[in-house]
Structure 1
Amino acid sequence: MTLNQMMNETFKQQSGHDWKNKAEETLKGKSIDILSRDTYENIKLKPLYTKEDLPQSSISQNPGSADFRRGFNELGYVEDDWKVAQKLTGGDPKILREKLLLSLEKGQTALSFHLDELRPAELAKIVDGLHDYPLSLHTDQSLKEIFDVIEDANFTGYIAKDPIAVSAKTGVAVDEEWLAAITEADKKFPKLKTILVDASVYHNGGANAVQELAISVATGVNHIERLLNDKGMNIETILDKMVFNFSIGANFFIEIAKLRAARLLWNKVAEAYGIEESNRKMTIAAETSQYTKTVYDPYVNMLRAGNEAFAAVLGGIQYLHVSPYNAPEGEASNFSDRVARNTQLILREEAHLKKIVDPAGGSYYIESITNQLAEKAWNLFLQIDEKGGMVEVLKSGWIQGQIADTRQKREIDSYSRKQSIIGTNIYANLQDKPLEKKAQSNVKAANTAFEVIPQLRLSEAFENLRHKSEALRERGHKVEAGLLCLGELKAHKARMDFVTGFLAPGGINTAKSEGVSGYEEATSFIKETNVKHYFICGSNEQYDDTTIGLVKSIKQDHPEVKLYLAGLPAKEEQVKWEQAGISAFIHMRSNCYETLLSILADLEVEK
């Protein structure tokens, strides 16, 4: 075939039904629906998306036009690049200014640091003379005190506070002085954004994307109504002063869609207030998730942050903070700061993402979940509104309950390892040394107005198991389990490896027997290792009456030990094993966390 013939060759057009049939051929007649899965947002992710999944209106949008899912600039980042806004740490203002100046030389493009570690008077010294760079500062402090010490009216960017988010994580009553500070700042700093909607508090409490979006809209509407009705502020001015902060989690495509849906929803709110299309811009600051990070195998945090940063950029943001890999320790090192900053620079300069215009636009998959997220979030926002608004649902505890339900689902999935946390609940390294965890203050203060939303990391339960096992070793306990491996290596290796990996997240070492063929070898190994917990590892073919008899003999002569079977026999067979002395079956769907917790509890009382 010649080149011209190849160029003129066309493929036969295939319908979605054709693709479905082809896929089901490879599934040997099973329905393609078995490949679907449900998200925490109650969205069913399908294995195949086509144009039939979208109304035409969803794919006809152009960047720079309503509904703004595709961004506010026709040329995307080519027209307006996102700001590298790494939040630097350090309590000494002199050192912090030096770090900031160095970061600006190395690629940072916004003035960003942890403001709440400083006194307001120190802020002015740190940013003095740097008004050519936009500010990117979140605070829980008094805005009035901060604005009083800044003299330069030329600053751009934002210094902002979300009093509702502060209340959500502390339980204290919503700050009412905030309103006056906003109106005064509008006169003094005309170019500065001062109104924050901070969704990260809810994200770090375990919320799903729908909840984050609905809460953001409800909080934004609360801010608008308070400033309109209590301070008589102009609606266009209010919208221009607002910035929305989102944490970006691990689900790559959901997070891209979340940011796109946020703009779609805010456009709908602004339209309801009668705002012209040109004034409906939503400024988005994003940060990589605290909730997804770990203290064990911490270098994996670099990969997590890179994935989250990539999703943020593709979702369309104006400011981005990539958390250093050792952020759970509280204060980053020069090395971890540099790696985090360079993550953004690689995305900008090497991946050329500063030259793109909404690459997600038109993807049947992403457009579909964008629509579903927006629809579900809008319905949840209406529920919040019917209950009196964001402050009222916090006071009643309703929204905390909604988030707690999602958080519990996430935790249950992590316990069974349906949700993998690399290096923590799966592929754990027993020689790994953890980061020193920063203490999290989730204790409810006195005279609080409502229940706090705890600021967590999903890995904490398993990390606590590791800490428990390390403490047991320090007190002289033998934190070890025995593996009774049946027959030849090829027969028991798969389950031997599985159990070894199953126990590692709890910090439990394993002693492995040679191939056991009978009672004498088994009891000899038990006497030699002298531990409390033993796991029988073999093939399904080896799990016969002979092995059941072996279990009975071991329990008769060693009643003090606990025996587990690697694998899950048929339901009718399980009773035989349990009657013989098996305590539990260890398999892919086992609750790993509860099993490990039980083993460590046994060891704690043993000595």
Structure 2
Amino acid sequence: MKNNMKEIEFSQANYEQWQESAVKALKGKPFESLITKTIEGITFEPIYTQDQLVEKLDGKLAEQVSTIRSLKTGEKCLAAQQTFADSPESLLHGVKEALAKGNDIINIDSRVDFAWDETTLKELAVLFTENSFKLNLQNNQDSLLQVFNYIEVDQQEAVTGFVSSTDEVALDGFPNVRTINANVLEAHYDGAHAVQELAVALLQAAQYMESEEDIEAFAKKFFVTFAVDTLFFVEIAKIRAFRVLWKAFTTAYGTDKNISVAIVSETSIRSFSKLDVYVNLLRAGNAAFSAILGGADVCTVHPHDVLSVPNDKSIRIARNVQLIVKEETHVAHINDPSGGAYFIESLTADLVKDAWALFNALQEAGGYDTVKANGQLDALLKETMDLRMKEVETRKKSLIGTNNYANPADVIDERNNPLYADYNRLAKPFEELCLNYAENQPKVALLTIGLLKQFKPRADFVSGFFATAGIIPEKSPEIQSIEEATAWLASTDAQFVIVCGQDDAVKEYVPALLLDKPAHISLDVAGRFKEEQDEWTKAGLNGFIFAGQNIIEKLTSLTANVKEVQR
């Protein structure tokens, strides 16, 4: 008899049953090993259920979802790819070409190598009346502001756009151009995590509101700018959380209306690297998808080579990343596509709770200008950035192609895009390390004890360790005796030698090697060997290479040791 699938019912497992099965699958590992904590201090559970979510939000799930969905300023995320140019002619050409190929918003940074002449400004003025724009200005005296002088009075009301500047910009007669920007980019590149970014955005908004009387009039001029990094779910929740926080913020200023808020986003380059630059495509694509799923109104995708010199091809690829995400996945046709997911809603609620608490604490400490001036905010962000760097340098966090799975044959493009040269990035120490090793050309070799299968795990680990500095270590033959090892060590011209093998063999060989080690060689061992480390170090061993070690500190110290020996 055939089974009718429509009539089959599956029993529904509860959380306890799932947990019991999970514990069995862990084969002795504790269930707590499935629980992780983010840099924000938020706990990630291995599974999220409807009951858990309802309990956490205490009956306010529907309110959270409806708030997020009702506070968007538009129906879809608009592409705002930046135009890079070295002349007025190339800028205008780039703007027009981008618009013709899918760009929704003209995006210009005024820090260019040419003067803004009248002809260029007039042509831009025409384009601004036909298209929305996003301008990044240096101050309220920026020459690019003159473009608004060439827009006819009867056209001004129809002009829409976003203007970001370090100073307050007043554009009389342009009611639909937003000029009050809570710009969180500086905090982001100083290391801020999602909770801190959200709190900083609210602090800046509160600072602006001190000179405003009407929250609704203020909201029409206001927008927030977020950088979106590669923590996929956290970044989705961050953008959603800001709308919930914005509702609380506007309520605190005396209105119960649902006032929409414009969220402008750009893919973060904090995780970008000049090593294996095409991996930046994956980082940017991941971040763009987060921004769109989270409900950003505007998104800029940085080209994979933005740190050096973007070209037409890389700019086109960056633009197409967003177009593909929006059109091929159809997320552009859905309002709040991630809404209702137990994990996302729970994470959104966590970010809202923690960010609101931090905002209030910093507001009570004097507000944005005060905590910025007295160093309180900078100290908070530095602590987070230091933690980020430690995670990267010890490989707790992977930067593929940089601190993990690095290609030692990579050549760093030493050209710098001045717009982003000063940004704090996690990959910078590794890039500097590669340049340092390329300049000094140290020779590294592995002394491999036993058969391939015996030394390969540690030899591969050490090779990957040095690959992060652009070094390909040489390998000795399969050494079978202490005599062979001593002879090989005496004959090699390598400056760094790392002993690789199984524990018992290494313990047998190292004391003998240290007795006859040539003076010009810095000898290290792959592995921890805690019991032997003091004895070996006293006998002349330089140190150890092991998992969890700070790569930057270790490889920097090796070059210093060799220079000392060479003196």
Query: Which TM-score bucket, shorter chain as reference?
Result: over 0.9
Check conservation: 1:551, 1:581, Cα contact below 8 A. no
Q: Give the C-alpha shift of residue 126 in structure 1.
A: 4.5
Equivalent position of 1:373 in the other structure: 351
TM alignment of 1:168-183, pairs within 5 A: 175=167, 178=168, 181-182=169-170
How far apart, in 2, do the equivalents of 1:604 and 1:559 lie?
13
- How many residues end up aligned between the 2 structures? 555
Relative to structure 1, the CA distance from residue 51 to residue 534 in structure 2 (aligned partners, 3 Å threshold; closer, same or farther) is same
Structure 2 unaligned segments of length 5 or more: list them: none
1:420-465 per-residue CA deviation (whole Å, 9 max, x = no partner) reads 111111222122121234276999xxxxxxxxxx731110011100
SS of the equivalent of 1:572 reads coil
Equivalent position of 2:197 in the other structure: 212
TM alignment of 1:179-258, pairs within 5 A: 181-182=169-170, 185=171, 187-228=172-213, 234-258=214-238
Check conservation: 1:71, 1:358, Cα contact below 8 A. no
Q: Give the C-alpha shift of residue 140 in structure 1.
A: 2.4
Equivalent position of 2:466 in the other structure: 503
Equivalent position of 2:438 in the other structure: 470
1:564 aligned onto 2:543: no
Q: Give the C-alpha shift of residue 298 in structure 1.
A: 0.8
SS of the equivalent of 1:113 reads strand
How far apart, in 1, do the equivalents of 2:193 and 2:396 lie?
17
1:85-131 per-residue CA deviation (whole Å, 9 max, x = no partner) reads 00111142221011110111111111112223265666633423222
1:88 aligned onto 2:83: yes
Which one is further off, 87-96 or 295-304?
Answer: 87-96
How far apart, in 1, do the equivalents of 2:407 and 2:229 lie?
24
Percent of aligned pairs with the same amino acid: 32
Q: Give the C-alpha shift of residue 358 in structure 1.
A: 1.8
Aligned pair partner of 1:136 in 134, 140, 162:
134
Equivalent position of 2:30 in the other structure: 31
Q: Give the C-alpha shift of residue 363 in structure 1.
A: 1.6
Equivalent position of 1:598 in the other structure: 557
Equivalent position of 1:382 in the other structure: 360
Equivalent position of 1:543 in the other structure: 506
Equivalent position of 1:446 in the other structure: none
When the two chains are superposed, the root-mean-square deviation of aligned CA atoms in Å is 2.4
Check conservation: 2:292, 2:326, Cα contact below 8 A. no
How far apart, in 2, do the equivalents of 1:261 and 1:38 lie?
19
Aligned pair partner of 1:320 in 257, 277, 299:
299
Give the TM-score taking structure 2 as reference length: 0.92
Amino acid at match of 2:433: L
TM alignment of 1:87-106, pairs within 5 A: 87-106=82-101
TM alignment of 1:45-444, pairs within 5 A: 45-54=44-53, 55-61=57-63, 65-66=66-67, 68=68, 70=69, 72=71, 80-117=75-112, 124-130=121-127, 131-142=129-140, 146-150=144-148, 151-152=150-151, 153-163=156-166, 175=167, 178=168, 181-182=169-170, 185=171, 187-228=172-213, 234-278=214-258, 280-329=259-308, 331-438=309-416
Equivalent position of 1:589 in the other structure: 548
How far apart, in 2, do the equivalents of 1:94 and 1:319 lie?
26
Amino acid at match of 2:247: N
How far apart, in 2, do the equivalents of 1:577 and 1:527 lie?
19
Equivalent position of 1:447 in the other structure: none
Check conservation: 2:500, 2:506, Cα contact below 8 A. no
Relative to structure 1, the CA distance from residue 144 to residue 537 in structure 2 (aligned partners, 3 Å threshold; closer, same or farther) is closer
Check conservation: 1:111, 1:134, Cα contact below 8 A. yes
Q: Give the C-alpha shift of residue 369 in structure 1.
A: 1.4
Q: Give the C-alpha shift of residue 533 in structure 1.
A: 1.6
1:458 aligned onto 2:453: no
1:263-312 per-residue CA deviation (whole Å, 9 max, x = no partner) reads 1111110111123423x211011100021111111111111100110111
Q: Give the C-alpha shift of residue 61 in structure 1.
A: 4.2
Check conservation: 1:551, 1:580, Cα contact below 8 A. no
SS of the equivalent of 1:159 reads strand
How far apart, in 1, do the equivalents of 2:262 and 2:302 lie?
20
Equivalent position of 1:2 in the other structure: 2
Amino acid at match of 2:124: V
Check conservation: 2:485, 2:513, Cα contact below 8 A. no
SS of the equivalent of 1:88 reads coil
Amino acid at match of 2:162: I
Check conservation: 2:241, 2:348, Cα contact below 8 A. yes
Amino acid at match of 1:157: T
Amino acid at match of 1:115: S
Structure 1 unaligned segments of length 5 or more: list them: 164-174, 229-233, 444-453, 474-478
Relative to structure 1, the CA distance from residue 409 to residue 388 in structure 2 (aligned partners, 3 Å threshold; closer, same or farther) is same
How far apart, in 1, do the equivalents of 2:420 and 2:375 lie?
16
> Runs of 4+ in structure 1 displaced over 4 angstroms?
118-123, 143-148, 439-443
How far apart, in 2, do the equivalents of 1:497 and 1:433 lie?
22
Q: Give the C-alpha shift of residue 249 in structure 1.
A: 0.7
Structure ranking higher on relative contact order (CA contacts 8 Å, 6+ apart): 1
Relative to structure 1, the CA distance from residue 441 to residue 393 in structure 2 (aligned partners, 3 Å threshold; closer, same or farther) is farther
Amino acid at match of 2:541: I
Check conservation: 2:110, 2:144, Cα contact below 8 A. no
How far apart, in 1, do the equivalents of 2:159 and 2:298 lie?
13
Which one is further off, 281-290 or 424-433?
Answer: 424-433
Equivalent position of 1:449 in the other structure: none
Check conservation: 2:482, 2:509, Cα contact below 8 A. no
Check conservation: 2:303, 2:318, Cα contact below 8 A. yes
How far apart, in 2, do the equivalents of 1:440 and 1:492 lie?
46
Relative to structure 1, the CA distance from residue 116 to residue 275 in structure 2 (aligned partners, 3 Å threshold; closer, same or farther) is farther
How far apart, in 1, do the equivalents of 2:419 and 2:376 lie?
22
Relative to structure 1, the CA distance from residue 133 to residue 540 in structure 2 (aligned partners, 3 Å threshold; closer, same or farther) is same
Give the TM-score taking structure 1 as reference length: 0.86
Q: Give the C-alpha shift of residue 158 in structure 1.
A: 2.4
Which one is further off, 597-606 or 482-491?
Answer: 597-606
Amino acid at match of 1:284: I
How far apart, in 1, do the equivalents of 2:61 and 2:2 lie?
37
